[in-house]
Structure 1
Amino acid sequence: MTGRASFPVFGTTAHLLVTDPDALPRALRLLRTELAAIDAACSRFRPDSELSRANTAAAEGRAVTVGPRLAEALDAALQASARTGGLVDPTVGTAVINLGYDRTFASLRPEQLGLPPAPAAAPIRPDAPRPPSGPTAARAQQAGGPASQASQPGHWSEPGGGPGTGTVWSPSGPTAARAQYLPGVGARALEWDPTERRLRVPAGVALDLGATAKAWAADRSARLLSAALGCGVLVNLGGDLAVVGGSPDGGWRIAVADDHRAPAPDAPVVAVTGGGLATSGTTVRTWWRDGHPVHHVVDPRTGRNPEACWRTVTVAAATCLAANTAATAALVLGPDAPAMLRHAGLPARLVHDDGGVLRVCGWPEDTPTHDAPTHDAPTHATPRGAA
């Protein structure tokens, strides 16, 4: 038996699962309290948030001292920027606003929404088969590293040495040429003292932590709840999913879907026993701008949506932040994403705009929801949105 609860948060849905049903009421209180504190620190839609105050101070040339939660969230964003060479970057706030994402997604008018649904997935030839197993933290690589490891855009940096542990993947061909073009300021332009928690944002720059904040929040919340309750915890924030402290026999069953609001009956299911799983996509948070469809994923090299390629990318890693960073970078990289994911050693499932499915690094063949064991209803991993 497990306990579960769901509630709206950050413009999406939070799903909480615990291995001890008796711990659920306390777990739910702790999670609501923690996510409310994170929203007060990191939301760019709240004028009273710490992040909004930092962005306001930028226009006035002032530095600000931030609280521990925003400091931790900023460190996570800078880590993601360093690991991807700027493909996932917190200084894209102005570009996101220019695309029309200047308010919460729920407040957009109906006529601004309503892109046609994506076609159903039709599997194409997968990679060569690997030993069958679900994407768990034991197989995934921790993706971390200090901000000093920042590299050229399109690189994937990790500590240590060897594929998935330390070497740097760099693109070739058209992507390499585009990697030399960086119209944005990039994370390295920020003045950030993590010891004093002192931040100065350059004038004309707006921070947006939406690319990493939900994944970081899932990791942080799952650790906090598991430590407080002494049981296994799964926190899923709109497709950014963290597991800490154990799982039911066979793992938590996760249905990988384009949209948690209307998952397909035959959505594939994977088992996760620890670590993180994240899906980034372009099919849910979409709207119309000047007669053209746009979405919330921004290529920091151009300030625009990346060229169409993948509609969703799901990645397993040792943390939700690592998985989400890789999934978002894959959307930005487009055709070069599989090479990046293989080099990092991260199991992933990529769904092309035409519905074709590509699996890398041992991601298992699709097992439909209705064919999976029924000991626990699946949790849906859905495309990432901004916090």
Structure 2
Amino acid sequence: MTAACTWQIWGLDASLTVTDPRRLSDARVIVEKILDDVDRACSRFRPDAELYGKSIRRGRPTRISPALRTLVDAALDAARASDGAVDPTVGQALVSLGYDRDLAAVLADPAQADRGDGMPRIRIRPADHTLIRRHGDTLAVPEGITLDLGATAKAVAADLAADVIADEIGCGVMVSLGGDIAARGETPTGGWQVTVDDGPGEPRTQIALQGDCAVATSSTLHRRWRHRGTSMHHIIDPATGLPAEVRWRTVTVVARRCVDANTVSTACIVKGDAGADWVAATGLPARLIAADRSVIGCNGWPAPDQLAA
């Protein structure tokens, strides 16, 4: 028997499922505490976020909290693992493209959507994560570089929440944060049933997760806005400072850790035509939806006649 609850966080759907219904409320307290810690550490949309304090913004080596260390290290690991395709130094590019507030506020600003020719007025230098210095409990970010940990922070939060619940409560758990899903502990009979669906009219499938594992989906279909008359999406190509070309509509990857799955799915979108071969080389099961809605499965992703019941 399982119990579940759902809510909204950061403009996304969140859900929590546990194998011990008596502990659902306790598990939710843990998830919400971790999400609050992540938000306080690195949200671009709150003025008191630790990552955007004066000392860091001025380029000074700054002592940071364990929570922020975990998040920054995960972002830098993702940059290295993806050969720079997932790079946390794209923050200024996102700002220049109009994503300078919570997305709901951006979407509510018709003036930003309609004026201009679609190109940012500020020339953005290519992102380069190697400029960031992390040593011991300190972080140094060169002045003028804005970090954005959005590409990895949500997946890290899902992993952390699932880890803590499984360790402290002792039941099986699945945490889902806007498509980033982590499962730990006891697995329900038949596995954790996960529907992979990116909206009406999009290819839909269902898989069963077993044991400690995770799944992440990256998409160019959501978190979109208009800026200077041009449609934008949030997955930035670090080499150009612009939204990645839409060779892939969505990419879903299964891995041991959600942050690893998310790194691969996001990097695939950024890498474009080269993404399919790169994902195949990782050995991780994946499903890629191309711009023409054709479906590519690799590394053991189940065929339609093998889907979970």
TM-score relative to the length of structure 1: 0.73
Kept in 2: contact 1:268–1:367 (CA 8 A): no
Instruction: Report what 1:299 is aligned to.
Output: 237
Instruction: Report what 2:204 is aligned to.
Output: 267
Which structure features the higher share of helix residues? 2
Shift of 1:246: 2.3
* CA–CA distance in structure 1, aligned partners of residues 253 and 192 of structure 2: 16
Match of 2:173 among 233, 236, 253: 233
Instruction: Report what 1:51 is aligned to.
Output: 51
Aligned runs of 1:250-265 on 2, under 5 Å? 250-259=190-199
2:224 is the counterpart of 1:280: no
Instruction: Report what 2:117 is aligned to.
Output: none
* CA–CA distance in structure 1, aligned partners of residues 251 and 38 of structure 2: 26
In structure 2, stretches of 5+ residues that fail to align are: 114-123
State the AA in 2 paired with 1:268.
T
Instruction: Report what 2:96 is aligned to.
Output: 98
Instruction: Report what 2:274 is aligned to.
Output: 336
Using a 3 Å threshold, how does the CA distance of structure 1 residues 112 and 287 change in structure 2: closer, same or farther? farther
Secondary structure of the 2:89 match is: coil
The superposition leaves residues 37-76 of structure 1 with CA deviations (integer Å, 9 ceiling, x where unpaired) of 22111211111011121xx434433222110001001110
Shift of 1:318: 1.0
Instruction: Report what 1:381 is aligned to.
Output: none
TM-score relative to the length of structure 2: 0.91
Kept in 2: contact 1:297–1:305 (CA 8 A): yes
* CA–CA distance in structure 2, aligned partners of residues 278 and 335 of structure 1: 20
Kept in 1: contact 2:19–2:171 (CA 8 A): yes
Identity level (%)? 41
Instruction: Report what 2:293 is aligned to.
Output: 355
Match of 2:132 among 183, 190, 195: 190
Secondary structure of the 2:249 match is: strand
Shift of 1:10: 2.0
Shift of 1:338: 1.2
State the AA in 2 paired with 1:343.
A
Kept in 2: contact 1:34–1:221 (CA 8 A): yes
Using a 3 Å threshold, how does the CA distance of structure 1 residues 43 and 367 change in structure 2: closer, same or farther? farther
Shift of 1:288: 0.7
The superposition leaves residues 222-241 of structure 1 with CA deviations (integer Å, 9 ceiling, x where unpaired) of 00111111011101100011
* CA–CA distance in structure 1, aligned partners of residues 43 and 34 of structure 2: 14
Instruction: Report what 1:20 is aligned to.
Output: 20
* CA–CA distance in structure 1, aligned partners of residues 58 and 81 of structure 2: 31
2:287 is the counterpart of 1:289: no
State the AA in 2 paired with 1:94.
Q
Using a 3 Å threshold, how does the CA distance of structure 1 residues 234 and 68 change in structure 2: closer, same or farther? same
Match of 1:60 among 58, 61, 74: 58
State the AA in 2 paired with 1:216.
V
Which structure features the higher share of strand residues? 2
The superposition leaves residues 198-245 of structure 1 with CA deviations (integer Å, 9 ceiling, x where unpaired) of 111101100000000000110011001111110111011000110111
Match of 1:246 among 150, 175, 186: 186
Greater RCO, 1 or 2 (C-alpha within 8 Å, sep 6+): 1
Instruction: Report what 2:116 is aligned to.
Output: none
Using a 3 Å threshold, how does the CA distance of structure 1 residues 227 and 263 change in structure 2: closer, same or farther? farther
Kept in 2: contact 1:89–1:187 (CA 8 A): yes
* CA–CA distance in structure 1, aligned partners of residues 100 and 298 of structure 2: 35
Secondary structure of the 1:362 match is: coil
Kept in 2: contact 1:257–1:263 (CA 8 A): no
* CA–CA distance in structure 2, aligned partners of residues 372 and 317 of structure 1: 18
* CA–CA distance in structure 2, aligned partners of residues 25 and 250 of structure 1: 24
2:32 is the counterpart of 1:41: no
Shift of 1:294: 0.6
Kept in 2: contact 1:191–1:201 (CA 8 A): yes
Kept in 1: contact 2:156–2:259 (CA 8 A): yes
* CA–CA distance in structure 2, aligned partners of residues 308 and 41 of structure 1: 31
* CA–CA distance in structure 2, aligned partners of residues 83 and 60 of structure 1: 28
Instruction: Report what 2:119 is aligned to.
Output: none
The superposition leaves residues 102-155 of structure 1 with CA deviations (integer Å, 9 ceiling, x where unpaired) of 111122234759x9xxxxxxxxxxxxxxxxxxxxxxxxxxxxxxxxxxxxxxxx
* CA–CA distance in structure 2, aligned partners of residues 364 and 112 of structure 1: 43
Secondary structure of the 1:108 match is: helix
